[in-house]
Chains A and B, each alone.
Chain A
Amino acid sequence: MKTIQFLSLFAFAGLVLTSCSDDDPEPVNEEEVITTMTITLVPQGGGTAVQLQSRDLDGDGPEPPVITVSGNFNARTVYDGRIVLLNETETPPDNITLEVEEEADEHQFFYSIGASLSATTEYSNFDGNGDPLGTQFTFSAGDESTGNLTFTLRHDLKKPNDGSLADAGGETDIAQTFPVGIE
C-alpha cells in the first residue's frame, strides 16, 4: 500500500515537472523611463535658440548619458525655457512631459546655477495649488561667464518647499548638469 502511495507521489511530481512549458518570457514594458531631456531656450525678442540635451538610450545600462550643448548664451539676455522629456525606448517616443504636467502636484524641476555662472532662473508654470512645476521657466543670462547649469526633477517631494533640494526631499527622476557659457 505504501508503495502505491509513493508511486503516486512520483507520478504527481512528474506531472508537475512536465507541465511547466517553456514559453519565452515577454520583454518588460518599461513605464517610468526617461531617456531624453531636451531644453530649448529661446531668447525673448528673437535670436538664436540654445538647446541643451541629455540622452541615455540604454537607461540604467552601462552607457552614460550623452550631453550636448548647442551653443553659448548671449550676455544680458532673457531666454524662455521649455523642457521636453521623452522615453525613446518606445516607438514612437513617449512624451513624458505630458505625464509630469498632468501630475504637476507630485513633481517639480529645480535649477541650480554653478557659482561661477552669472545667471538667474524663474519658474514660468505652476501646479494646481500655485506651487512651482518648472517644465517652463525663464533663464536670465548675466555677464560673460562659464559654469554649470543643473536640472533636477523630483517626484513625491514636499510641496511647497523653500526651493532647495534638501528641503524638498522626494525621489530624483532626473539630475543632469550642463557646462554652459555666456558670451
Chain B
Amino acid sequence: MRTLLAIALGLFVYHAAIGQQCQEALYGQVLDFHDQTPLVGATVYILEIDRAVLTDFEGRYRIEGVCHGSYEVEVSHRLCRTLIFKVEILGNTQRDFQMEHHLEELEEVQVVGDLLPDISNTAQEQRLSTQTLENYSSGTLGDALREISGVSTLKTGSNIVKPAINGLTGSRVLILNDGVRMQDMEWGDEHAPNIDINSADQVSVIKGAAALKYAGDAIGGLVVIERERVAIADSLYGKTLMTLMSNGWGGNVSTELTRTFESGWYLNGQASFKRLGDREAPDYVLSNTGMQDLGLSFHAGKRLINQGWDFDYSYYQADIAILRASHIGNVDDLIESINSGTPSVIEPFTYELGVPRQEVAHHLGKFNYYLRIPGLGKWTAQYDFQNNRRFEYDVRVGADRDKPAIDLELTTHTLMTDFTWDASSNLEVQAGILGRYQNNFANPDTGVRRLIPDYDKYEFGTFLIGEYRLNENWLFDAGIRYDFSRIDALKFYRTSRWEERGYDEDFPEFIIEDLGTQLLTNPVFDFHNFSGSAGVRFSLDADSEIRANYALGQRPPNPSELFSDGLHHSAARIELGDLRIDSETSHRISIAYNRSGERWGLTLEPYLNFIQDFILLEPTGAEFTIRGAFPVWSYRQTDARLAGVDLSGYYQWGPQWQSRHHFSLTKGNDLDQDEPLINMPAPITRNSIAFRKAEWNGFEASLESTYVFRQNEAPPNIFVFSPAEQELVELEINTPPPAYHLLTLRAGMDFSLSEKLVLNTGIAVENLANTNYREYLNRNRYFADDMGRNIILQLKLYY
C-alpha cells in the first residue's frame, strides 16, 4: 500500500521532457519487510540499461538519466533473497522496495545442518541431523533419538520403541509432527509413536515443558519433527534410500521427490515400506517379532514472503508382532519365565506375523495458513485432523482366533491460531489459542472387556510468550499458558471393582445404569492447568553460550491413568487406574553450557525436576482368577524428584580423526515412599571414534562403544502367592538386568554417478560382538535376550 502511495507521489515530479534525452531519475529506499528499517548496501540494478547503485546508510538510492518506460529492477542484499520488481518510470519516479530480511523466515533449503532457529531459546535443546535420521531409516524414531544425550527408550521388543526424555515417557513426552501434536494413544507403554522416521528431515528434542507455544503438559519434553524447508525456486530433486539388514532378514525402501516453483508453489511426496521377519538374539530366534510398516505423505502449498499455505496429509500403518514368549498365562508362568532364562517358545525363523500382534494406522491431515503484515508480524492459523486406529490381537482359540482383543479408534480435531509480533528487532511476542476435540471409541465386538472406555475430550489452551534480546550477549524469554481439558467418559465397571476401589462412596453420582453385575458410569472431569517458563541465554563468545531455564508444567491424567481397569492380556497383568488421580505439576530447573568450537565441543546439561503428584504405574500385588493369579499394576500419585546430568562432547584429534563422547545419568526418587522410581534409565556412556577422508570419495568410518550400567536403583520386588508352589514367593519383577557393553561399526562412501546423481553407500554392524544382554527398559526383558548382531547395508541415492 505504501508503495502504491509512493508511486502516486512520484507522479508529482513531472518534467515535460518529451523528445528530450533521458533525464528521469528513479529513487527511493530499500526497507526491511518486517520493521521497515532501511537496508544498507543493497544493490538496485536496472536490467534493461545495465546500471546499478548501492543504498546508503539510510537505505536510499538514486539512479539518474533513465528514460521513461517500464523496467525490471533487481534488488539484492547479502542477507536477503534477490527480488525483481517491475517499475514504470514516468518522470522522476520514487519507488521504495521491501525485502525479506530474516533469512530463517524465508525457509530456504538448508544445505548445512543447523541453520534453522532453535525452538526454545533458553531450554536444553538438542538436534538430530538428516544424516543421522537416514542412518536409522530402517529403525524407529526412538532408536534415532537415543543418539541424543538424555534420551532413552522404553521398548517392547525391538520394534516398539517409545522415546523417554530424562527418564520420562508416554504422555509426558509430546511429539510434534510438522506442527501437529500427535494423538496416537501415547498413554500405552507398548504404543510406539505412529511416525515413519523417513518422513522426518530434522528432529529436535527440547527437555522439559519449556516450549509453551505447543503445550504446557510436556513435563518430560518435546520431540519436534520438522520437514525440509522448500526453496522458492524452480527445482526438482529427490532421494531414495534402501536398507537391508541381516537380523530380521529384511529391510526398507524409502523414496522422496520434491518439485518447487519460482512462484512459491511446491509439491512433495514421500513413501516408504519396511518388512522384517523374526529378529534374533545371539542364541535363539525371537519368535514372532517381525514387522511390516508403510508410510506415505504428501505435501503441497504455496509459500511466499508475505503469505502462504500448506496442505499436508500423511498415513502410517504398522503391523508389529510381539514376542510369543511374552504372552504368559498367569503369575506362575511369569515366575517360570523369569527363572528359566530362555523364552518358552522358540520356533524357526519366519516372516509370518502371528499373535500377539498389533496393527495400527494413523491418518494425519493438516491445513496451515500464514500471513505477514509488514511492520507488525505474522499470523498463523492451522487445522489438523487425526485418526488413529489400533487393533491388538491376542492368543485366542476357535471362532475368536482372528478377532482383535483391543479395537480402539481415536479421532482428533484441532484448530489453532497465533500471532507473532516481531517488528521490533529486540522484542518478539507471540500469543495464540487452541481448541481441540477428541473422541475415543472402544469397539465392543472384541468380546473382551474394554481396557479404555469410550470418551469425549475437549481442550482449550491459550499462551503468551515473549523473548527480549537485551544486546548481542543476553537474551531473556518468558511465557505463560493456560489449558483447560474436560474428559467425558462412558465406562462399564464391574460392581465388585467399583466397590473395591471405593468409588461407591466417592462417585455415586457417576452411575447412570445398574446392569446387575456391572454398572454403566459417566465420569466427567475438568482440569485447569497453568504452566510457565522463564529463562536466560548468555553468549560467552562466538562458540559458546550458557542457558538457564525454569519451567512449570502441569499435566492432566490421561485416560489410561484414570480408567484402566482389567486384565491386559498382552502384558499378563491387571492394570488399575484411579478416578481420583489429579494433574501432576513439574518444576524443572535446568542449566546448559554449550560450546561448539572447531577443535572441541562440550555440552553440559544438569537439571532438577521436582514433580508434585507424579503419576506412576507399578506392581502392587496379585489378584486371583480362575485362570490363576495375575500381578496387579496400579497407578498412584506421589511426589517425585528427578535429577541428572547429560554430558556430550567431541574432540578433533587431527584433520581426519574425531572422537565423540556422551554420558547420561538420571536419578528418580519417590519422596513419599523414600525409594527409587520405577523405570528410570540406567546411566549410560557412549564413546566413538571416527575417521574421515574426503578425498577417498568422502570415506567415513566409525567405531562406537555403548556401555549401559546396571540400574542399581529400582523399587523393591513384590511377594505374591503362587498357586503352583502354594506359598508366598518373590516376584522378581523389578530386579534390573546386569550391565552390558555393545559395539557398533559404521562405514560409508559417496560416489558421484553424474552431475546430479550422488550415491552414498554405507555398512553398519550393530552389536558387533554378538553380546547377550537384556535392557532394564525393555518390557520383554523377563522373557528373552535382546537382539544379537545385525549387519546393515544402506544405499542412498540423491538426485
Residues of A whose CB lies within 8 Å of any CB of B are 2, 5-6, 9-10, 13, 16-17, 20, 24-32, 34-37, 54, 56-65, 89, 99, 102-103, 106-107, 114, 148, 150, 154-156, 166, 169, 171-177
Contacts and interface: CB of A to CB of B under 8 A. Distances in A.
A27 B400 contact: no
Contacts of A99: 398
A64 B624 contact: yes
A175 B397 contact: no
A177 B517 contact: no
A58 B492 CA distance: 13
A106 B396 CA distance: 10
Nearest to B622: A64
Contacts of B497: 58, 61-62
Given A37-B626, A169-B344, A61 B494 contact: yes
B304 to A, nearest CB: 13
Contacts of A32: 396-397, 400, 447-448
A123 B398 CA distance: 23
Contacts of A150: 723-724
Interface stretch (B134-142, B437-445, B711-719, B767-775): B437-445
B367 A9 contact: yes
Interface residues of B, number: 60
A24 B626 contact: no
B178 interface: no
Q: Which 10 A-B pairs give the minimum distances between C-beta atoms?
A: A172-B329, A31-B447, A175-B628, A64-B624, A62-B500, A60-B567, A58-B496, A61-B494, A61-B496, A28-B444
B572 to A, nearest CB: 10
Interface of B: 307, 327, 329-330, 332-333, 336, 344-345, 367, 369, 371, 381, 383, 395-398, 400, 413, 415, 435, 437, 439, 442, 444, 446-450, 453-454, 456, 490, 492, 494-497, 500, 512-513, 515, 517-518, 520, 566-567, 574, 623-628, 630, 723-724, 726
A106 B567 CA distance: 23
A148 B724 CA distance: 10
A176 B437 contact: no
A177 B627 CA distance: 11
Nearest to A6: B381
B628 A59 contact: no
20 contacts: A6-B369, A9-B367, A13-B437, A16-B437, A24-B513, A28-B447, A31-B448, A32-B396, A35-B626, A37-B626, A58-B517, A59-B449, A59-B626, A60-B623, A60-B625, A150-B724, A155-B397, A166-B336, A172-B333, A175-B724
Contact of A56 (B381, B437, B625): B625
Nearest to A20: B439
Nearest to A91: B516
Contacts of B520: 24-25, 27
Contacts of A176: 626, 628, 723
Contacts of B624: 56, 64-65
B398 A103 contact: yes
Contacts of B628: 172, 175-176
Contacts of A20: 439, 456
A58 B512 CA distance: 20
Given A99-B398, A172-B329, A177-B723, A28 B449 contact: yes
A54 B625 CA distance: 10
Given A9-B383, A25-B444, A29-B444, A172 B517 contact: no
Contacts of B724: 150, 175, 177
Contacts of B344: 169
